[in-house]
Structure 1
Amino acid sequence: MSGINRRAALGTLGLGFAASALPFPARAAETSGEDPALEPELEIVDPHFHLRDFSDPEAPGERYLAQDFTDDIARSGHRITGSVFIECGIMYDTPGKDAERSLGETRYVGEIAEAHSATGLAAGIVAKVDLTRPEGLETLLARHEEAAKGHLRGVRNSIATAPFPPLSGIRNDPKLLQDAALREGVTLLGRKGLVFESWLFHPQMDELVALAKACPDTTIVLEHLGCPLGLGPYAGKLDTTFAEWRPAMARLAQCPNVVAKIGGLGPFMGQMATPETTSVSLARDWKPWIETAIELFGPQRCMFESNWPANRPASTYGQIWNAFKLVTRGLSQSERAALFSSTARSIYRI
């Protein structure tokens, strides 16, 4: 994120903007009870979660620690055998050079991964590294690899921006993926066996298409199905969003080096949990998006994600996995294994 203090902007959702700018509270899902886990024996690798340990006790936003995530997993009843931490710009070194401060977050999570190696917590780490700084980039990546204690699996640089409330406070550079220096950095990631990820909104998906074509030897991960929007001018118009989103997904699926994370659905679509929210209602709402992604990419290039705790306004942790299980009951055992665990294990070398 550029142009603002990320720690102040992340807020309680951990998605890169102040929670006060959003039309829902951070703990909305607590109005719904946890549904019993369906098929609790099914192995799951969760490839997208965040931690929030603010060093400043006065910092805005809710803390979410490794023990909180462990407790949520246990409460859900689902069999989570591994997980991947995705950078969120919080546990940075202070002071330090701007390009190096994110080492603090990588080091923080690397120590957690080492301590929890038996459970696979944070078995993979996707760090924040400024890929537009070619001078010294390889050395900086090596320092992140050391800080991650062998768990570094990729880098995220995001472009999510929108010109309308409540998203207009997000100030990522929308042209970042076009930067020649960044593309050199993404190419370097591929040579080092690391993936590239970017958080973006569905009107920006063609930026990722262009990047994937320019860097064909690097695995690129589309987060949250391109974050289809149901806020601002898209509020109450998910049919319009779907009509824009599906062709963009089809273009992206033509790039063989792109893998899709299925999840993060709900908050940006304008969906908020109520006492009536259940796994069944979520499966019904998410089914068209999930089935379209699987149809276009195939199970071997898709992986389910929780985006936890950022998705807490829309559901409980367990309801997310129940919904995914409900939608995919008609698929084969091998297809479901890919979606729930083996694709993530392959992409993140877990």
Structure 2
Amino acid sequence: MDDFYAARSRTIPPLAWSNIAPPFSALPFPARAAEAMAEEPALEPEFEIVDPHFHLRDFSDSEASGERYLAQDFRDDIARSGHRITGSVFIECGIMYDAEGEDAVRSLGETRYVGELAQAHRKSGLASGIVAKVDLTRTEDLDALLAHHEEAGRGHLRGVRNSIATASFPPLSGIHNDPKLLQDPSLRAGITLLGRKGLVFESWLFHPQMDELAYLAKACPATTIVLEHLGCPLGLGPYAGKLDTTFAEWRPAMARLAQCPNVVAKIGGLGPFMGQMAGPETSSVSLARDWKPWIETAIELFGPQRCMFESNWPANRPASTYGQIWNAFKLATRGLSQSERAALFSSTARSIYRI
């Protein structure tokens, strides 16, 4: 089946990048920094994990900038890790789009591509849920467009992502999203519609933008809103070597978000944007040490029932192997109860994404 879908995808030209998402070649770190690293043995290999954040990158043009990452690659990384991944959620990445049609509907190609994969691999939990890209500012036909994504996703559509991550300084200045998008009244109407349809809203942003999400959450209280990557705390550009300063800015913003009961936090995506690159000294022990203050703060503020661990794979590969991420999370939470850890590793994600 994987060969069939890989062959089919070659008929879909790559998206001409716009302000939807940054081309991966524009990100300020190498795509495969941890590739040569040996995978660690899995800690607690029978512990159930639902991975609520992964991407696929099927560039049909061999000359396209960016690295292909197919369903089989993800399955291989899971198998090598030794961890028990029973479900996963695909997050839109603006690549497998339809070649024709107006911009607002071309993203149906990506939802359709992943929906067919999910249908073919129901037993393995590949893409148990899909978070699609849909222009939520459309006021006339948004309901119909969401229905088309529901159909394209073969019953796996669980939410929509519109991102605001943007920065004016190198090395992040190549990332282009509308930083004022979350203030748009038409977007808020679209997010309210998501809530009525039982779909979640999530947004990729950087930590100085977190208050925008808090304002949005208060304006759309009936919609579940997912904070990705703990707000992506920065350690690059003017923040390089100043993670203490970043933490001092980030923690109160997290506290303000935690006061919004409809906000859920994904814990992960830590590493590359904090300036952490994989090296000979990288291990799950070192990652757990570096990430633990951020992890513990999120759990303290939101509680385990509103937090879920994520891999952000393969985007996080510059910082570690896939297995090291889950080992680090397991090490960082050994002091918690069994029920608390179950929420963080699987049950919160199952609840939010209806897996």
TM over 0.5: yes
Alpha-carbon deviation of 1:108? 0.1
Aligned equivalents of 1:243, 1:9: Cα separation in 2: 35
**Aligned-residue CA RMSD in angstroms?**
1.4
Q: Describe how 1:1-350 pairs up with structure 2 within 5 A.
A: 7=15, 16-22=22-28, 24-350=29-355
Aligned equivalents of 2:41, 2:16: Cα separation in 1: 36
How many residues are paired up? 341
Residue segments in structure 1 that go unaligned for 5+ positions in a row: 1-5
Aligned equivalents of 2:268, 2:82: Cα separation in 1: 19
Alpha-carbon deviation of 1:32? 2.3
Letter in 2 for 1:40: P
Alpha-carbon deviation of 1:31? 3.7
Letter in 2 for 1:121: L
Alpha-carbon deviation of 1:276? 1.3
Aligned equivalents of 1:32, 1:50: Cα separation in 2: 21
Query: 1:124·1:153 contact (CA, 8 Å) conserved in 2?
Result: yes
Letter in 2 for 1:311: N
Alpha-carbon deviation of 1:18? 4.3
Alpha-carbon deviation of 1:55? 2.0
Aligned equivalents of 2:151, 2:246: Cα separation in 1: 42
Alpha-carbon deviation of 1:56? 1.9
Deviations along 1:234-273, one digit per CA (max 9) or x if unpaired, are 0000000000000000000000000000000000000000
Letter in 1 for 2:305: Q
Deviations along 1:139-171, one digit per CA (max 9) or x if unpaired, are 000000000000000000000001100111111
Deviations along 1:48-70, one digit per CA (max 9) or x if unpaired, are 00000112222111100000000
Letter in 1 for 2:194: L
Alpha-carbon deviation of 1:95? 1.3
Alpha-carbon deviation of 1:19? 2.7
Alpha-carbon deviation of 1:190? 0.1
Alpha-carbon deviation of 1:7? 4.3
Letter in 1 for 2:44: E
Q: In structure 2, what is the equivalent of residue 3 of structure 1?
A: none
Deviations along 1:295-345, one digit per CA (max 9) or x if unpaired, are 000000000000000000000000000000000000000000000000000
Aligned equivalents of 2:278, 2:34: Cα separation in 1: 5
Letter in 1 for 2:300: E
SS at match of 2:34: helix
SS at match of 1:82: strand
Letter in 2 for 1:142: A
> Kindly tell me: are residues 69 and 259 of structure 1, through their superposed partners in 2, closer, same or farther at Cα, counting changes over 3 Å?
same
Aligned equivalents of 1:8, 1:311: Cα separation in 2: 24
Letter in 2 for 1:56: D
> Kindly tell me: are residues 15 and 267 of structure 1, through their superposed partners in 2, closer, same or farther at Cα, counting changes over 3 Å?
farther
Query: 2:164·2:182 contact (CA, 8 Å) conserved in 1?
Result: yes
SS at match of 1:196: strand
Aligned equivalents of 1:9, 1:239: Cα separation in 2: 35
Deviations along 1:89-128, one digit per CA (max 9) or x if unpaired, are 0000001111100000000000000000001100100000
TM-score by length of 2: 0.94
Runs of 4+ in 1 over 2 A off after TM superposition: 6-10, 14-21
Query: 2:139·2:190 contact (CA, 8 Å) conserved in 1?
Result: yes
TM-score by length of 1: 0.95
Aligned equivalents of 2:248, 2:36: Cα separation in 1: 32
Alpha-carbon deviation of 1:226? 0.1
Query: 2:26·2:174 contact (CA, 8 Å) conserved in 1?
Result: no
Alpha-carbon deviation of 1:224? 0.2
Residue segments in structure 2 that go unaligned for 5+ positions in a row: 1-13
Query: 1:159·1:172 contact (CA, 8 Å) conserved in 2?
Result: yes
SS at match of 2:158: strand
